[in-house]
Amino acid sequence: MTSAPLSLREQHPWRHELRATISLAWPLILSNLTMALIGATDVLMLGWLGARELAAATLGFNLAMTAAIFCMGLITASAPMMASEIGRMQHSVRDVRRTFRQALWAAVAVILPFWILLWNTEALLVTFGQQPDLAAIAGTYISAYMWSILPFLFFIILRNFISALEQPVWALIISVIAVLSNALFNYALIFGKFGVPEFGVVGAGIGSVMTNVLMFAGMAIVVMRHKRFRRYHLFGRFWRSDWQRFRAMWKLGLPIAVTMGLEGSVFGFAALLMGLISTASVAAHAIALQLAALTFMVPMGLGQAATVRVGIQYGRKDHAAIKRAGWVSFILGTSFMAAMALVFVLAPDFLISMFIDASAPGNAEVAALAVSFLAIAAIFQIVDGAQVVGAGMLRGLHDTTMPMLFALMGYWFIGIGLGASLAFWQGWEGVGIWTGLAGGLGVVSVLMLARWMMRSKLGLLP
């Protein structure tokens, strides 16, 4: 009697995991990249208006993104929750639907206080010592942009759902359409093209609202019409309360929200510190950070894939498969960021030229500062990739409290503390702030990796 041939998973488990991770990650990566391109489009077009408008919008945008990232962290809990439910029972419908609905509830609940905060953007920026004219422009921009956050959160929840089912290509398709639409919206609204009035910086905010509503509506149509997704009836009776699952969402998601909020706010606070130095420093920081954000989308996507892959194996309680899922994503993410660090070192002028014309009056200082920031960002890239994949690996295990503490210590006590000391006490200015950020992210990445290795060694995974 002959035995059946072994499957690829049984013969080559690491090769199988590599293929499964890449298959899941590449649409997520490209989807993340397209969302980053939406932000890059805003920065690019606002840069065409001038360095002053770019600096003001950057101050407001960083404040809004801090709020958005915190909210996104809360609903990120839906990804490992749905993935582990599917891993525990492949055709689970009711539990997945319960998690999805309560993620919608959580998004609405968490955004309300942030809307109140963002409505007072101008006053907040003045309180933090920013120039009144920049604060006024930023407040005008955010008064429109802030309404884009809720549909964006709804889109992310839908993307978490299809990712848990390992079908993220639809998110990529919707995101590509959104990039093109956002460019069109912004071009028309900022500069007054195609018969539309010229709105200036507020036009970028209106364009973001239109883009995110389009993304949510497109994804909602997909999950309601596609035969793989529609059997879950995700929006059926979405108004019904489920306090047990709602509390579970907050219990797992709040530490993620705090972790991501600490990371997002540290960059927003860094922009405020740049504002205390000069307008040129803020504009250069916006350019360097935008470039870093574009490359960050790759390890971010791999971290999201790690959350799903680890979460599925966590539901199955497969110890060896959990470790493979984590390490494959980590190696891929850090290797990519090391390659991007080399690009930052070798071609900074070319990269910066995509955002600003260094030969234009008043732009030479901005370009020179951006080049110096990119030199530090080369190291920043590697450790940033390591920490985001490490966080994704741990979220797959529903391990969120310790990463939150790591973020608090690394991002703020070390990152901002060291950065402010170097910038203002040692006279390094913007370079000092970027050096501190790189150091803080390095500490977080080491702690995340140590946490994962400890749980692996002690057998504490399932």
Q: What residues contact 423, with CB distance under 8 A and at least 6 apart?
A: 273, 277, 429, 430, 431, 432, 433, 436
The pairs formed by 222-229 with CB atoms below 8 angstroms and a separation of 24 or more are 222/158, 222/162, 222/170, 222/174, 223/158, 223/161, 223/162, 226/170, 228/165, 228/167, 229/161, 229/162, 229/165, 229/167
Give phi and psi for 425, each to the nearest 5.
-90, -35
In 297-426, beta strands by DSSP E: none
Q: 307 or 358: whose pLDDT is higher?
A: 307
Q: 100 or 40: whose pLDDT is higher?
A: 100
Give phi and psi for 237, each to the nearest 5.
50, 45
Residue in the structure block whose two tokens are 């993340």: 32
Is the pLDDT confidence value at 461 over 60?
A: no
Q: What residues contact 221, with CB distance under 8 A and at least 6 apart?
A: none
Is the pLDDT confidence value at 4 over 50?
A: no
Q: What is the mean pLDDT of residues 426-438?
A: 93
Q: What is the mean pLDDT of residues 184-201?
A: 89
Is the pLDDT confidence value at 1 over 60?
A: no
Digit-coded pLDDT (tens) for 10-57: 668 899 999 999 998 888 888 777 777 776 677 678 777 777 787 788
Is the pLDDT confidence value at 260 over 70?
A: yes
> What pLDDT is recorded for position 90?
67
Q: What region does 198 belong to: left with phi over 0, alpha with psi -120 to 50, or beta?
A: beta
Q: What is the mean pLDDT of residues 445-451?
A: 94
Any idea what the Cα angle at residue 32 is, between residues 31 and 36, rounded to 5°?
A: 120
Digit-coded pLDDT (tens) for 306-328: 998 998 888 888 888 889 999 99
Nearest to 236 by CA among 100, 106, 349: 100
* Integer angstrom CA distances of residue 106 from 114, 209, 358, 450: 13, 20, 45, 31
pTM for the whole structure: 0.78
> What pLDDT is recorded for position 7?
54
Contact 84, 312 (CB under 8 A): yes
Neighbours of 185 (CB within 10 A): 22
The domains of the chain are located at 10-457
Digit-coded pLDDT (tens) for 120-176: 999 998 988 888 888 898 899 999 999 999 999 999 999 999 988 878 888 889 988
